[in-house]
Amino acid sequence: MQRHFPPSSSSFSSLLFLLSLVSLSHSFAIGSSAFCREEMTTLGGVHDSPDASNTVEIDDLARFAVDEHNKKQNAVLEFARVVKAKEQVVAGTLHLLTIEAIEAGKKKLYEAKIWVKPWLNFKELQEFKHAGDVDGSAGAPSFTSSDLGVKRDGHGPGWKEVPADDPAVQDAANHAVKIIHQRSNSLFPYELKEIVCAKAEVVDEHAKFDMLLKVKRGTSEEKYKVEVHKNNEGSFLLNQMEPHA
């Protein structure tokens, strides 16, 4: 008659050790694949910026890039407008902007990369390089199509309506809102909500913009009637402002 003996403690320990190794290997494989999936979703491709319609935010990033470039290179570029805005999701967001700026009265294009991590209030200019000149800009005033459209052309001087979405009009409006905020004692920043209407006139070497702006301050909205002047070097001056009922 064959006798059966219970497994020894050493055999049982060996079995437990083997099972632990199998379990550990399985867990590591799952963890590794999960890590790879997370990395792939974190590093995204370049695409059009969803904030491109938010000209205030994109323009602020572009102005930051120009200011940082001027500090590092001891340059005197003047921001004109954002031509194109793209972005890439990294550890935060990498904004890739094509910027039109003015140097010595000439319009030039620049490509800038700005790394932003909003949760850390972090913003850094990664790259800023010349990407070419704007055609026909040599020696010409820095007025856009809307400015040129209101030049005295034989039909008499005076104000003429211009599109609210024109880059020059938007730059003038943003400058006005910036100065309004600087002159106020408000704890809440002023934000441009809408350019209700805009007119422009070019006299000598200056363009003048007469605009009705709707702005937001905290939870309240206000309207301001403003007049902004722009010289042929691209500099703005808020000449008049008054609350509008």
164 contacts 198 by C-beta, under 8 angstroms = yes
Write out the two tokens for 145: 């199509």
Q: Residue 24 has what pLDDT?
A: 45
Distance of CA 42 to the CA centre of its chain: 21
Whole-number Å distance between alpha carbons of 103 and 19: 71
10 Å CB burial of residue 182 (0-12, 13-18, 19+) is exposed
Nearest to 128 by CA among 75, 167, 175, 174: 75
10 Å CB burial of residue 151 (0-12, 13-18, 19+) is middle
**What is the CATH class of 48-130?**
alpha beta
Whole-number Å distance between alpha carbons of 32 and 93: 25
Q: Residue 34 has what pLDDT?
A: 40
201 contacts 208 by C-beta, under 8 angstroms = yes
Q: Residue 54 has what pLDDT?
A: 53
**What is the CATH class of 160-244?**
alpha beta
Let me know how long the chain is.
245
Q: Residue 155 has what pLDDT?
A: 40
Q: Which pLDDT tens digits describe the chain residue by residue (245 residues)?
A: 555 555 555 555 555 555 555 454 444 444 444 433 333 334 567 777 765 545 688 889 999 999 999 999 988 899 988 888 888 888 888 999 999 998 887 888 999 999 999 899 899 999 999 988 775 444 444 454 444 444 444 444 578 888 888 888 888 999 999 888 888 877 888 999 999 999 998 876 678 899 999 999 888 899 999 999 887 777 888 888 898 87
**For the chain, what are the domain ranges?**
48-130, 160-244
Write out the two tokens for 85: 């805005």
CA of 122: how far to CAs of 91, 94, 118, 119, 151, in Å? 11, 12, 6, 8, 43
Q: Residue 44 has what pLDDT?
A: 61
Q: Residue 16 has what pLDDT?
A: 56
Q: Residue 117 has what pLDDT?
A: 92
Whole-number Å distance between alpha carbons of 6 and 140: 99
Question: Helix, strand, coil proportions of the chain in percent (round to 5)?
Answer: 30, 40, 30
Eight-class DSSP state of 158: S
